[in-house]
Amino acid sequence: MPELIDWPCSLMRPLDVSYFIQWTSREAGANLHGVPQIISPDIGVWRVDITIPREFSGQRLKELEAKVSRMRGRYNVADLCICDPYKYGPGVSPVQYPFTDGTWFTDGTGFADPSMGTAPIVTTTAVAEGGNILQVDLAGPPAIPHLRIGDMFSVNGFLYRVVGRNVPNGQIRFEPSARQAIPSGTALQTDPPHFYGRFVDDMQGQRTREFLKWGASITLSFVEAFDR
């Protein structure tokens, strides 16, 4: 059975993270007006490329090689954190506290403390597998900011992007469609989102060794893992 390998952010120190959905489409020939017809089964798979800068610590290099070795080619699954400087984190929605008597400000907010992390954002309705709309609790207490269009979140290692929202009722539309059912009361992981992925091929280990030998930066490529 595949093993989940933790790749901590502190080890990778990513210089650049590229993440995008590879959509599947094909051309079905031209229509009567001579215009190409593009069709798609609406199937997309996340691909994540992580560039790790030159490293001069021998211990960190050995740890990185050990992680790559434990992946066993494409067999095992990596637990990666998605680096995003504009994430929905404490800079957007910090943890809040009430007054000593348990009351909040008149607008439903409290005293912000970014040092304590990000305020939890929780679903208020269940989402069936294949769905792409959910609602979150913004009213609290405490009241928290809505997810923004483009924000990333994850549930059980499946990565999603917000592509639309309805501010008054806390509704968001996301892509890709839910990989598995999301129960009501689920806390969305935003700081940082996590992605479960496999190497794109079995040769990532060899490429890593070659880059390390010449003291160059390393780019590791992963694709979304569905069978966990």
- Return the domain boundaries, the chain: 4-25+37-83+195-224, 91-191
CA angle 49, 158, 53 (to 5 degrees): 25
pLDDT of residue 39: 56
Could you tell me which residues are beta bridge partners of residue 175?
Answer: 161
How far apart are the C-alpha atoms of 118 and 95, rounded to whole Å? 5
Which secondary-structure segment (H or E) carries 65? helix 58-70
The domain over range 4-25+37-83+195-224 is classified in CATH as 3.90.930: no
**What band does 51 get if pLDDT is binned at 50, 70 and 90?**
confident
Distance set, CA 194 to CA 12, 132, 144, 189 (Å):
14, 19, 22, 7
Q: Looking at residues 145-151, what average pLDDT do you find?
A: 94
pLDDT of residue 61: 77
Q: Does residue 163 have a pLDDT over 70?
A: yes
Distance set, CA 102 to CA 97, 108, 142, 143, 179 (Å):
9, 12, 11, 14, 39
Q: Does residue 170 have a pLDDT over 90?
A: no
**What band does 37 get if pLDDT is binned at 50, 70 and 90?**
low
Please provide the DSSP assignment of 121-159 as one string.
-BBSS-B-TT--EEEB--SSSSP-PPPPTT-EEEETTEE
pLDDT of residue 56: 66
How far apart are the C-alpha atoms of 162 and 153, rounded to whole Å? 8
How far apart are the C-alpha atoms of 175 and 132, rounded to whole Å? 6
pLDDT of residue 120: 93
**What band does 40 get if pLDDT is binned at 50, 70 and 90?**
low
pLDDT of residue 11: 73
Backbone angles phi, psi at 189, to 5 degrees: -90, 115
Q: Are 9 and 83 in contact (CB under 8 A)?
A: yes
Nearest to 173 by CA among 123, 133, 216, 225: 133
